[in-house]
Amino acid sequence: MAKIGVLIDDMFEDVEYISPVKAFEKNGYKIIHIGLKEGKTVKGKKKGTLVKIDKSAQNVSVNDLDALLIPGGCSPDHLRGYNEPVKFVIDYFNSDKPLFAICHAPQILITAQLIEGRRITGWRSIIQDIKNAGAEFVDQAVVEDDNIISSRGPQDIPLFINACLKRLESL
């Protein structure tokens, strides 16, 4: 059974967590919630969804994961303020395993200096940050560039999930 890490902290965009995770679980994938502190409960921004962190970013091995989802909201910006999640994202990224990034997720990829020369999409407020990081911002629902599958935000969730599931099936 493939394992999908979800990198998450407080004030995540609820639907960008709930919908993909529901679809992944329905398809038999196991979810591992990764965050700042094991056992901490983090809370969604709009609906107050509660998520318990299974593993801290410094205690998770990339070998234990088959894919990684980074939901948006304020969570990616919180996480990138700390060294451990940024280091984890770099290690994960270098494994070439699939990374599912939606909305504000590219923020942590920018801090990790991972998107130069890549094609990616994200929430409209971070377009200039994406461009300044040396990436090509693509204004479409789903952008696939090698290991990165990205979407703009809540409006793209159904297509984002389809693209993620298709990639997971090909593993």
Residues that bind its own copies (CB under 8 A): 11, 74, 77-78, 80-81, 107, 110-111, 113, 123-129, 132-134
Query: Among 162, 125, 126, which Cα is nearest to 142's?
Result: 162
Q: How many CA atoms lie within 13 A of 127 on its CB side?
A: 8
Of 6, 60, 99, 103, which residue is the catalytic one? 103
Q: Which candidate, 144, 171, 138, places its Cα nearest to that of 159?
A: 144
Burial of 165 (0-12, 13-18, 19+ CB in 10 A): middle
Known catalytic residue: 103?
A: yes
- Which residues have CB under 8 Å from 93's CB, separation 6+? 99, 109, 112, 114, 147
CB-nearer residue toward its own copies: 77 or 144: 77
Are 2 and 30 in contact, with CB atoms under 8 Å apart?
Answer: yes
Closest CB to its own copies among residues 47, 166: 47
Asked if 67 and 74 count as a contact pair (C-beta separation under 8 A), the reply is: no
Report the residue number, 116 or 169, with the smaller CB distance to its own copies.
Answer: 116
Instruction: Please report how close the Cβ of residue 28 comes to its own copies at its closest, in angstroms.
Output: 35
Nearer to its own copies by C-beta: 66 or 84? 84
- Least distance CB 79 / its own copies (angstroms): 8
How near is the Cβ of 81 to its own copies at its closest, in Å? 4
Min dist. Cβ of residue 125 to its own copies (A): 4
CA nearest to 72, candidates 45, 95, 51:
45
Just list the catalytic residues: 103
